[in-house]
Amino acid sequence: MMNRDFLNRQEVMMYSVLGIALFLSVWYGAVALEVTPKQFLPSPHEVLIKLSSLLTQPFSGFTLLAHIASSFQRFLYGFLLAICIGIPLGLLMALSKNTDRLITPFFESIRFVAPIAWVPFAALWFGTGIGGPVLVIFMGAFPPVLINTYRGAIHVDKKFIEAAQMLGAGRLRLMVEVLFPAAIPSIVAGLRISAGLGWQSLIGAELIVASSGVGYMMVKGQASIQTDIVMSGMIAIGIIGLTIDIGLRMIEKLVSKYREN
């Protein structure tokens, strides 16, 4: 079994390396053939050189690491806000039919609105302050948290709820001690989706309503026709997003192992 898993990992790694090599080959080929002017399509090594220089040389007032820190701070605020509201509300909706009936129509009417559609309101309400991007991130991250929490809690066996009620458990204890533990796998799965949508929403917001951050840096790079800076920002966005997802996947595996034991 271990050998099979090892071979599978080797095969995945091999195809990943081949995919990256193919992508870089096409990129270098397009540059060599001058498909577009070099100003609009720099070579991979030129982008990497620019990326490394941005780590120490400020652009639009900050180094790349400072822009990343600013973006991640906004993401963290919006993501944590979505968790703090989405999880308790999802548990309460699963426990109380009246709450479910009250919240569902409003929630269903806003969850299909793209997070980027909130940018004009964010700009009007908060300007370029931190509140605007946090609002946009929240609107992207909140629906998956609420939906997955609700779906995980609604399928809890009614016998456990009834037994806890017979022992005198109130609504809060039912949510914390019965529904929440049972819904954890679904909640963690929802957090991965939520984090991805929240991070994407952040970059969209920073393109319009921010004065720092990776998205803001990319806008300034585009305005000055510095494609290597725009591409450097894209690479940073991808790496950070992947890191966030890997961290949540590790948490998901730990939760699964804990529940199996």
The pLDDT tens digits for 61-101 are: 889 999 999 999 999 999 999 999 999 999 999 888 888 89
Tell whether 89 and 211 lie within a shared domain: yes
Domain of 191: which CATH number?
1.10.3720.10
The chain-wide mean pLDDT, for the chain, equals: 84
pLDDT at 21 over 70: yes
Assigned token pair, 247: 């961290």
Q: Which amino acid is at 241?
A: G
Distance CA 206, CA 220 (A): 11
Tell whether 7 and 86 lie within a shared domain: no
Tell whether 27 and 147 lie within a shared domain: no
pLDDT tens for each residue of 185-239: 889 889 999 998 999 888 778 877 777 888 889 988 888 888 999 999 999 999 9
Tell whether 23 and 46 lie within a shared domain: no
Q: How would you label 141-174 residue by residue, b for 16+ Cβ within 10 Å and e otherwise?
A: bbbbbbbbbbbbbbebeeeebeebeeeebeeeeb
Question: What domain range includes position 28?
Answer: 1-35
Residue 42 DSSP class: -
Tell whether 203 and 95 lie within a shared domain: yes
pLDDT at 243 over 80: yes
Tell whether 250 and 208 lie within a shared domain: yes
Distance CA 77, CA 79 (A): 6
Q: Is the pTM of this model over 0.95?
A: no
Count of domains in the chain? 2
Distance CA 231, CA 240 (A): 14
Residue 174, pLDDT score: 79
Distance CA 151, CA 94 (A): 8
What are 59's strand-pairing partners? 62
**Nearest to residue 125, comparing CAs of 56, 209, 213?**
209
Assigned token pair, 55: 């780590």
Tell whether 55 and 73 lie within a shared domain: yes
Tell whether 108 and 169 lie within a shared domain: yes
Phi-psi sector, 168: left (phi>0), alpha (psi -120 to 50), beta: left
